[in-house]
Amino acid sequence: MTSTAFDSAALSASEAATPALALTIAGSEATGGAGAQADLKTFQELGVFGIANLTCIVSFDPQDNWNHRFVPIDQQVIADQLEATTAAYGAASGAPSVLDTVKIGMLGSPATISTVAAALAGAAFTNVVLDPVLICKGQEPGHALDTDLALKAEILPLATFVTPNHFEAESLSGLHITDVESLTAAAVRIHELSGAAVLAKGGVRLAGPDAVDVYYDGETLEVLSAPKVGEVAVSGAGCSLAAAVTAELAKGATPLEAARSAKAFVTAGIRNRVASGAPFDALWQGGPR
Ligand code: PXL
C-alpha cells in the first residue's frame, strides 16, 4: 500500500476541521502577483478555503512597457461560475460551512459589474469586501469612466468593507489627498457614501518614512502605520490586503481586527517580496512565515 492511500484513509472528511470559506470575484493576473492568484494564496495562507470566480484575464505586455492586456470573461460564464459557487456553498446549499464572505476585485466593465451586482443581490453575504480597482496600469485616469461610475452606483452600496488606494480614495471621495489628514477626510467621506468600513491606503503615495493607512467605520478611527519598505509599490499588495481582510472576516474577526491583521500580513509579504524579469516585485504571501 502506498503512503498516499494510507494517509487519505486515515483522515476522513468528517474528522477534518471544516475551514471558513471565502469567495473572490476577480481577474486573473497571469504572472501570479495580483488578482485572483494573490487572493487565493492569501486565503490559503490564512487558513481559509478559497474559491475564485474569474471576471477577466490580464496579461502584462513586456513588449509595451508591461501595460495590461485585458480580456473580459463572457458574461454568461461569469454568471455560471457564481451559480455553481452559490449552489455548492451558499445559504441554501446545505453545506456544513456556509459561504457568507466575498471579496470583489477587478471587474473591468459595466456589463461585468451588472452581472456581479445581480448575483450579489440574490445571495445574502454577510461580508462584502470591495477592492475598488478603478484603473489598470496602462489606462489613463478617466479612460474607464463608465466602469468607474457603474462600480460606484451598483457595487459600492453593497459593500460592507472598502479598501481604496490613494487614487481610488480621491476618485470615490472627490477630495485631493496629500497627507494623513486628507486621507482621513476621504475615509470619512467614503464611509458616509457607502455605509461600509473603510481602509484607505496611503501606501508609498504619501511622503514620510511610514506607509500609513486610515481605518474608519463610523465609530472607530484608527491610523495604521508601518515603516515603508522602499518607495516603490509592490504588485499584489492591494489585492493581498483586501484578501487578508476578507479571510479574517470569514474567520469571525471584527472589521477593525481584520484591518490590523491584514496590514501586518501585507507588511511581512512586502518585506519578503519576489523579484522577476518584470520591473516590479511581487508580494510573497508566505512572508509572515
Ligand atoms: O492590483 C490590481 C489588480 C487587480 N486585479 C488584476 C490585476 C491587477 C493589477 O495588475 O491585474 C487582475
Q: Does residue 227 sit within a domain?
A: yes
Q: Which atom of ligand 1 is nearest to the CA of 238?
A: 1
Q: Does residue 220 sit within a domain?
A: yes
The CA-based angle 289-23-198, given to 5 degrees, is 80
> Whole-angstrom Cα distance, residue 51 to residue 23?
5
27 lines ligand 1 (CB under 6 A): yes
Q: Does residue 284 sit within a domain?
A: no
Q: Does residue 13 sit within a domain?
A: no
Instruction: Judge residue 252's burial from the number of C-beta atoms within 10 Å of its C-beta, 0-12 exposed, 13-18 middle, 19 or more buried.
Output: exposed
Distance in Å, CA 237 to ligand 1 centroid: 10
Distance in Å, CA 233 to ligand 1 centroid: 13
234 lines ligand 1 (CB under 6 A): no
Distance in Å, CA 66 to ligand 1 centroid: 13
The pLDDT score that the predictor gives to residue 2 is 43
70 contact partners, CB below 8 Å, separation of at least 6: 27, 56, 57, 58, 108, 136
Q: Does residue 90 sit within a domain?
A: yes
Distance in Å, CA 121 to ligand 1 centroid: 24
35 lines ligand 1 (CB under 6 A): yes
| Enclosing domain of residue 136 | 19-271
Q: Does residue 3 sit within a domain?
A: no
Q: Does residue 11 sit within a domain?
A: no
Q: Does residue 286 sit within a domain?
A: no
What cell was used for 65? Answer: 512597457
pLDDT, one tens digit per residue, over 236-279 is: 999 999 999 999 999 999 999 999 999 999 999 999 999 999 99
pLDDT category of residue 233 using cuts at 50, 70 and 90: confident
The pLDDT score that the predictor gives to residue 253 is 98
What's 44's domain CATH number?
3.40.1190.20
pLDDT category of residue 66 using cuts at 50, 70 and 90: very high
Ligand 1 pocket test target in 42, 58, 65 with most atoms within 8 Å of CB? 58
pLDDT category of residue 288 using cuts at 50, 70 and 90: confident
239 lines ligand 1 (CB under 6 A): yes
Distance in Å, CA 193 to ligand 1 centroid: 25
pLDDT, one tens digit per residue, over 130-148 is: 999 886 554 555 557 888 8
pLDDT, one tens digit per residue, over 167-188 is: 999 999 999 999 999 999 999 9
Number of structural domains in the chain? 1
